[in-house]
Amino acid sequence: MTGTAHALGSSRTLWELIERRAELTPDRPVLLQGDRVLTFGALRERCERVAAGLYGMGVRAGTVVAWQLPTRIETAVLSFALARLGAVQSPVIPYYREREVGFALRESKAEFFAVPGSWRGYDHTALAHRLGARGVFEAYGQLPEGDPGLLPPPPDDGTSVRWVYWTSGTTSDPKGVLHTDRSLIAGGSCLAHALRLTAADVGSMAFPFAHIAGPDYTVMLLLYGFPAVMFEHFALPDALAEYRRHKVTVAGGSTAFYSMFLAEQRKRPGEKVIPTLRLLAGGGAPKPPEIYHAVVREMGVQLTHGYGMTEVPMITMGSPDDTAENLATTEGCPPPGMEIRITDEAGRAVAPGLDGEVRLRGEAVCRGYLDRAQSEAAFDAEGFLVTGDVGHVKESGHLVLTGRIKDIIIRKGENISAKEIEDLLHTHPAVGDVAVIGLPDAERGELVCAVVEQPPGASELTLRALAAFLRAQGLSVHKVPERLEVVAALPRNEALRKVLKYKLRERFGGA
Give 86-96 pLDDT, tens digit per residue: 999 999 999 89
pLDDT of 169 = 42
Listed range (180-194, 262-276, 415-429) with the worst mean pLDDT = 415-429
170 confidence band (pLDDT: 50, 70, 90)? very low
pLDDT in tens, 278-315: 999 998 776 778 889 989 999 999 999 999 999 999 99
Q: What does the alpha-carbon distance between residue 308 and residue 113 come to, in Å, rounded to a whole number?
A: 27
pLDDT of 500 = 82
DSSP-derived letter for residue 499 is B
Chain-centroid distance of CA 394 in Å reads 26
pLDDT of 171 = 43
pLDDT of 127 = 98
> CB-hemisphere CA count at 13 Å for 242?
24
Listed range (111-115, 170-174, 232-236, 395-399) with the worst mean pLDDT = 170-174
The residues pairing with 385 across neighbouring beta strands, listed in sequence order, are: 360, 379
Listed range (174-188, 230-244, 283-297, 433-447) with the worst mean pLDDT = 283-297
3-state secondary structure of 447: strand
Contact present, 409 and 438 (Cβ < 8 Å): yes
Going along 120-160, which residue ranges are E strands? 122-123, 136-138
Contact present, 505 and 437 (Cβ < 8 Å): yes
- How far are the Cα atoms of 123, 181, 388, 419 from residue 407, in angstroms, in the given order? 33, 30, 9, 8
Encode 65-77: b = buried (16+ Cβ within 10 Å), e = exposed. Answer: bbbbbbbbbbbbb
Of all residues in the chain, the percent with pLDDT exceeding 90 is 76
pLDDT of 496 = 45
Q: What does the alpha-carbon distance between residue 207 and residue 185 come to, in Å, rounded to a whole number?
A: 19
pLDDT of 256 = 78
Nearest to 334 by CA among 301, 299, 358: 358
Nearest to 509 by CA among 480, 487, 485: 485
494 confidence band (pLDDT: 50, 70, 90)? very low
- The C-alpha angle 74, 79, 83, rounded to 5 degrees, equals 145
Give, for 368, the enclosing helix (H) or strand (E). strand 368-369
> CB-hemisphere CA count at 13 Å for 32?
17
More confident residue, 4 or 307: 307
The one-letter code for the residue type at 78 is L
pLDDT of 493 = 54
- How far are the Cα atoms of 68, 174, 313, 475 from residue 168, in angstroms, in the given order? 17, 4, 15, 13
Contact present, 257 and 206 (Cβ < 8 Å): yes
pLDDT of 284 = 75
- How far are the Cα atoms of 32, 81, 203, 380 from residue 38, in angstroms, in the given order? 7, 15, 14, 44
Q: What does the alpha-carbon distance between residue 252 and residue 279 come to, in Å, rounded to a whole number?
A: 8
DSSP-derived letter for residue 479 is G
pLDDT of 175 = 92
pLDDT of 498 = 66
DSSP-derived letter for residue 298 is I
3-state secondary structure of 378: helix
Using the predicted structure, report yes or no on whether residue 250 has a pLDDT greater than 50.
yes
Radius of gyration of the chain from its Cα atoms, rounded to whole angstroms? 23
Helix H segments across 110-168? Answer: 124-130
Q: What does the alpha-carbon distance between residue 271 and residue 281 come to, in Å, rounded to a whole number?
A: 21
Listed range (4-13, 34-43, 61-70, 221-230) with the worst mean pLDDT = 4-13
32 confidence band (pLDDT: 50, 70, 90)? very high
pLDDT of 432 = 87
pLDDT of 459 = 92
Using the predicted structure, report yes or no on whether residue 172 has a pLDDT greater than 70.
no
For residues 246-252, average pLDDT: 96
pLDDT of 174 = 82
- Domains in the chain, ordered, with CATH? 3-184 (3.40.50.980), 409-508 (3.30.300.30)
Using the predicted structure, report yes or no on whether residue 495 has a pLDDT greater than 80.
no
Residue 487: what are its φ and ψ, rounded to 5°? -120, 155
497 confidence band (pLDDT: 50, 70, 90)? low
**Residues contacting residue 293 through CB under 8 Å, at least 6 positions apart:** 324, 328
Helix H segments across 169-288? Answer: 181-195, 213-224, 240-245, 255-266
Sign of CA dihedral 457, 463, 469, 473: positive
For residues 327-351, average pLDDT: 93
214: phi > 0 → left, psi -120 to 50 → alpha, else beta; which? alpha
Nearest to 370 by CA among 101, 173, 156, 158: 173
Q: What does the alpha-carbon distance between residue 74 and residue 392 come to, in Å, rounded to a whole number?
A: 42
Nearest to 160 by CA among 258, 237, 77, 61: 61
144 preceded by a cis bond (ω within 30 of 0): no
